[in-house]
Amino acid sequence: MASGGPHPDIASMVERLEAARSRGAKWIVSRIGDDGQPVGADRVNTYYRVPWALQITGHVAPAAAAMAWIERHALTSEGDLRPGAAQKNWSYPAEWTNGSASYPLSNLAYGAWLLERYDTAGAIMQTLASDFQDPASGGGYIERPECRSTGRQDILCTAQIGLTALLTGRREMAEAAFGWFERLWALQPKLPNRLYLSTIGPDLAVDPPKGKEFGYWLDIDKPRQAFFNPGLGAAFMGRYAMATGSTSAVEIGRGLLDVARRAHESKYDYNDTVHVGKFAWGAGVMMDVEPDESHLADAMRLGQWFLDCQLEDGRWNPTKFLVPEPGDTDALWKTGEHILLMTILDMALAAWPRGTFGN
């Protein structure tokens, strides 16, 4: 545990992360049209984090303009993504229909809430509750209702639904998502070497179609794994623990971070890895929960990782493993994500070591 007093390198890291966030936000702003349309939005949806990322960096006017464009052109009155471009994400093997279907909606609801567009956020949350969260398990479906062939639910969708539910006051949705995580964690048969990432019905999903193992498990001794999953799961566990006092959530969060920490060292190769940045989300949140030196060490290393992989013009590109020739629409997705992840680190590092109420 922390012994008190600031880490000697924290102030420098916070300052450099602030500068990098600012450069990234300016790059995003330069890709927003006069009418609020994000670059490439007429073809694909890689803009789902733009309102969130711009609002938390103080660019409230372009954030609001982008949100208004999204409300006019990408969302239905019920708070769902419109068919067509809003449901397309060609940078991935799957569109926002049969893979991670709720994920862009959860991110848009988060951004809308931060912009105080409570009507938009509320409509999206109602759609998530009715169509994208299993009422029995609390898990987030990876498929849209009209495309639901497996009923599989995974860490990515469930954690983001849970985080957004906490922000928007949908306590019942957050509790249901936490219940799914408790069951997922209890079912794990191969920890600490393999983390299964999803369920089908009451059981772990352990039998992927040939060649689709990436979405089903993370092997810690192999490269090119879905390294983002345990970090995002830990982020939700930490925030849920802060909201409810759940000690079980803290324990699961620690376990998920341990998986992320012990995973193959290639996770730090930003030219050939898969979104290790969410490890920073989990580490930053868990720093807020408990001032553990291991969380601090993770946060500092990941902070440097963000700095090292930023391009000169301020953008970040996705890994070449998934997107060999990234364009502006791909960079829009990744730059928005990195801004919000660095913000989590910034807040946690600036508050280190976080105190407790009454002391």
Looking at residue 94, what is its pLDDT? Answer: 58
pTM of the model as a whole = 0.95
pLDDT in tens, 206-238: 999 998 898 999 999 999 999 999 999 999 999
Bridge partner residues of 38 (DSSP): 32
Closest among 210, 153, 201 to 177, alpha carbons compared: 153
Within a domain: 294: yes
DSSP letter (8 states) at residue 32: B
Looking at residue 223, what is its pLDDT? Answer: 92
For residues 147 and 93, is the Cβ–Cβ distance under 8 A?
no
Question: Exposed, middle or buried, 124 (CB in 10 Å: 0-12/13-18/19+)?
Answer: buried
The tokens of 353 are what? 């070591």
d(CA 152, CA 178): 17
pLDDT in tens, the chain (359 residues): 344 445 668 999 999 999 999 999 999 999 999 999 999 999 999 999 999 999 999 999 999 999 999 999 999 999 999 999 999 986 554 589 988 999 999 999 999 999 999 999 999 999 999 999 999 999 999 999 999 999 999 999 999 999 999 999 999 999 999 999 999 999 999 999 999 999 999 999 999 999 889 899 999 999 999 999 999 999 999 999 999 999 999 999 999 999 999 999 999 998 887 678 999 999 999 999 998 999 999 999 999 999 999 999 999 998 887 788 899 999 999 999 999 999 999 999 999 988 665 54
Please state, in angstroms and as integers, the Cα–Cα distance from residue 29 to each residue in 17, 24, 50, following that order.
Answer: 18, 9, 9
* Domain, as residue range, for 214: 10-350
d(CA 348, CA 61): 26
Sequence-ordered alpha helix ranges (H) in the chain: 10-29, 50-56, 60-73, 103-114, 118-127, 155-168, 171-187, 228-244, 247-262, 277-289, 293-308, 328-350
Within a domain: 145: yes
Name the packing angle between helices 293-308 and 247-262 (round to 10°): 50
d(CA 18, CA 21): 5
Within a domain: 328: yes
Within a domain: 155: yes
The tokens of 300 are what? 């500092």
Within a domain: 5: no
CATH number, domain of 288, equals 1.50.10.20
Looking at residue 3, what is its pLDDT? Answer: 43
Looking at residue 212, what is its pLDDT? Answer: 87
Within a domain: 2: no
Within a domain: 195: yes
Give the chain's largest Cα–Cα span.
55
Percent of the chain beyond pLDDT 70? 95
Within a domain: 91: yes
pLDDT in tens, 14-25: 999 999 999 999
Looking at residue 359, what is its pLDDT? Answer: 45
Looking at residue 354, what is its pLDDT? Answer: 86
Domains identified in the chain, total number: 1
Please state, in angstroms and as integers, the Cα–Cα distance from residue 192 to each residue in 180, 214, 234, following that order.
Answer: 19, 17, 15
